[in-house]
Amino acid sequence: QKEVEQNSGPLSVPEGAIASLNCTYSDRGSQSFFWYRQYSGKSPELIMSIYSNGDKEDGRFTAQLNKASQYVSLLIRDSQPSDSATYLCAVNGRPSGGYQKVTFGIGTKLQVIP
């Protein structure tokens, strides 16, 4: 079982719709959860962090965390063509060897259709 699982997509949504991206993780002791956006040919950029159960909203983005189900999601409201990118789910697990390693999922490619 992979540590962080995502559907690679592509996920296609029409402009203005809600895009829902999902992620599950295997380490129940994971403490921090992140969503990164990666445009083609660029490095990932952090768009959301979430640390406790529930929802966290930032503009058009809402991250949702359910530790009991080991599930984290990202909702993008009013999707725009500029949101088309690969979205990486990342989990910061328990410290090992003196540091915490951020583990990334494979990423979900989102296509917003004008």
Partner 1 sequence: GAVVSQHPSWVICKSGTSVKIECRSLDFQATTMFWYRQFPKQSLMLMATSNEGSKATYEQGVEKDKFLINHASLTLSTLTVTSAHPEDSSFYICSASFRPEAFFGQGTRLTVV
- Which residues in this chain contact partner 1 in the complex, by CB under 8 A? 31-32, 34, 36, 41-46, 49, 51, 88, 90, 92, 97-102, 104-107
CA-angle at 9, arms to 6 and 15, nearest 5°: 115
DSSP 6-37: -----EEEETTS-EEEEEEES-TT--EEEEEE
Q: Between 54 and 114, whose beta carbon lies closer to partner 1?
A: 54
Q: Between 9 and 60, whose beta carbon lies closer to partner 1?
A: 9
Task: State the maximum Cα–Cα separation within the chain, in Å, rounded to a whole number.
Answer: 47
Q: Between 52 and 114, whose beta carbon lies closer to partner 1?
A: 52
CB 68 → partner 1: shortest distance, Å? Answer: 21
